[in-house]
Each structure stands twice: as structure tokens, then as C-alpha cells.
Structure 1
Amino acid sequence: MTEPITYTVTFEEGGWTARDHSKRVRGVAVASNLTQLERELEEAHEWAWPENPPPVNFVLDLPGELTAKVEAWRDERRLAELHAARSLRMGEEVVAELTARWSEPDAARITGLSKQRVHQLKKSYQSKSKADA
């Protein structure tokens, strides 16, 4: 795979501007939004390197402390996703143990979940257990 070309992207004079500091691409690309900018650069790469176009990579140069805030939020979002996945696994296991002893309505009452959610978690655990076997 071809090494990606990394563009530094800034918002200048009402539009997004991309510059390649590696000098593999000369000039700049300008667009009104980031999606359009990425699309235009990908098309330019396909035209310039028809056999194996390099991927487009953006480094956003945002004003002031926005970069740090965006990165902090992304880190928090990743942690939340990890916690959500772990919570789901634990929920499936707990519900499986509870429903092995008591009814789904009782398991719902114990966990504070709806009966429907308890049923979903139970089925999810069972299907994963069958797949692992």
C-alpha cells in the first residue's frame, strides 16, 4: 500500500485549505467543507497515481485551544466506548446468571432493566456462548 499523504488543513478566508508539507503534491486544495476537500483530494490522487493512489490523511490546524479540546473529547469518547463494551459483557453475564436461577421479570427487577432488555441480554449471551462452543 502506498504511504498516505498528510495534509495540514486550516480554515482561511471562508474555506478549508489543505497543504502537503512533504512536497509530494504541489500547490494547495481549497473547498467550502471538509468532506468536499477530502473528496477532491482523493480524486486528484486517483488522477495522479492511477495504479496505486495514496490515501488522504488530514491534520486539522484548529485555532487556539480547540485542538486540545477536540482531542480530550475524542479520548473521553474512546473511554466511554470501552466502558460501554465492558458494561455490555458484564450485563450479559449477570443476566445469564440471574435468569438461570429466576425469571426474566425478577432479573429485570434486580438489575433495574426492562424485561425486554433482560431478554435481549440473555439471548445475546446465549448466542455468544453457542458461537464459542
Structure 2
Amino acid sequence: YGQIDAEQLAELWIENREDLFSKNIRSFVGLTDVNDGIQDTLLHSPETFLYLNNGVTVLCSKIQKTVKGGYSDKSVGDFYCEGISIINGAQTVGTMGTAYQTNSEEVKKAKVFLKLISLENCPPDFALKVTKSTNTQNKVENRDFFEF
């Protein structure tokens, strides 16, 4: 897991569109009330996006990591991913791509949490299990929100 520039995900979406979501339970649904909120944060408060968004989960058939700079503990690196599919975060990535096409300067200021999962040496049903579990939650009711 780590952080990625929103610009990178936006460009990935522009280049690949729905192909990015091949293992997801659904694709980008366009601008809905929720996606409008995502876009509003991207355009008006991009520096807070990292904290206000749940992030993106990506399955990869293979991941290669290279250490970046002088970090001997391997905490910072570049990742080369093959066979990617965004399994959680389609609305986030699609909204980023849409916003980037008209407001790239604001989107460039945002960062996103990213979880990369390699499917190398995993059982055949692992991808489906991860997809289901990362897209399942209990319904949140208004009464669940309270002031601290």
C-alpha cells in the first residue's frame, strides 16, 4: 500500500477506460451525487483528497518493485504492474479522469491511497474473494453519524 498522484490514475483511466475495471463488480457509472462529491473535493480541496477518499485497490498479475533513491529500507519505490484491474475505486478513478480532462492543474495537486495486490502464486479463486470482500460493507445509516 502507499500513495499515488491522482494525475497518474487519471491518465491511466483516459488511456484504458473500462478495461481498467475488468475484474470489478461494476464500472464507472458517471457523475452521480457521490461522484460529484469526489469531483468537488478534487477541484476545490485537492490537498485534502487523500484523507477524504477511501483509495483504490488494484489486482495485478505481476508486480516488480525497484527501490527509489537512497532508501535502503525499501519504503519508497517505483512499481511496474502487469495485468492490472481496479477492483475497488472505479468511481474514484473515473471521476479523476473526467475531472482531469478539464481541470488537470487541480487534479495534479491530489494524492490517493493505493493498495496493490499481486496475484502471482495465488489460488485461482483469490481474485474473486478479494473483489467481493473489498466491495462489501454494512449499510451506513444517517443515525450512524454522530458528533465526536
Q: Is TM > 0.5 for Structure 1 vs Structure 2?
A: no
The structure with more radius of gyration: 1
Larger RCO (alpha carbons 8 Å, 6+ apart): 2
Structure that is richer in helix per residue? 1
Instruction: Please report the TM-score for the alignment, with normalisation by the length of structure 1.
Output: 0.23
Q: Which has the higher strand share?
A: 2
TM-score when normalising by structure 2? 0.22
